[in-house]
Amino acid sequence: MSVVSSSLKPRAGSLPPLGVPGLAALIVLIGGTLALGAVHGPAHGALFLVGGALGISLYHSAFGFTSAWRVFISEGRGRGLRVQMILLALTVLLFFPFLASGTLFGHEARGFVSPAGTGVIVGAFMFGVGMQLGGGCASGTLFTAGGGNARMLVTLFFFIVGSLLATIHFDWWTSLPALPPMSLTSLGPVTGIAISLAIFAAIAWLTLRVEKRRYGSLEQTPAAPREGLARYLRGPWPLVAGAIALALLNFATLALAGRPWGITSAFALWGAKGAQLIGIDPSAWAYWQAPGNAKALSQSVFADVTSTMDFGIIAGAMLAAALAGKFAPNLNIPLRSILAAVAGGLLLGYGARIAYGCNIGAYFSGIASGSLHGYLWAVAAFAGNVLGVKLRPWFFLERSAVHRVDG
Residue 21's identity, in one-letter code, is P
Predicted confidence band of residue 400 (pLDDT cuts 50, 70, 90): very low
Quick one: DSSP state of residue 225? Answer: S
Average pLDDT over residues 81-107: 96
Integer Rg of the chain from CA: 21
Helix (H), strand (E) counts: the chain: 17, 4
For the chain, the structural domain boundaries read: 18-216+234-403
What is the C-alpha separation between 84 and 61, in angstroms, rounded?
13
Give which of 199, 215, 227 is closest to 81, Cα–Cα: 199
Distances (CA, A) of 328 to 76, 302, 406: 32, 28, 16
Give which of 88, 90, 108 is closest to 99, Cα–Cα: 108
For 151-198, how does the pLDDT look when each residue is reduced to its tens digit (9 = 90+)? 999 999 999 999 999 999 999 999 999 999 999 999 999 999 999 999
Beta-carbon-side half-sphere exposure of residue 313 (alpha carbons within 13 Å): 25
Residue 200's identity, in one-letter code, is F
Percent composition of the chain: helix, strand, coil (DSSP 3-state, to 5) = 75, 0, 25
Q: What's residue 64's pLDDT? A: 84
Main-chain dihedrals φ then ψ at residue 269, nearest 5 degrees: -65, -45
- Strand-pairing partners, residue 178, are 117
Main-chain dihedrals φ then ψ at residue 14, nearest 5 degrees: -75, 160
For 213-267, how does the pLDDT look when each residue is reduced to its tens digit (9 = 90+)? 999 999 888 877 777 777 888 889 999 999 999 999 999 999 999 999 999 999 9
Q: What's residue 8's pLDDT? A: 37
Q: Which residue has the higher pLDDT, 230 or 319?
A: 319
C-beta of residue 276 within 8 angstroms of C-beta of residue 282: yes
For 266-299, how does the pLDDT look when each residue is reduced to its tens digit (9 = 90+)? 999 999 999 999 999 999 999 999 999 999 999 9
What's the chain's average pLDDT?
91
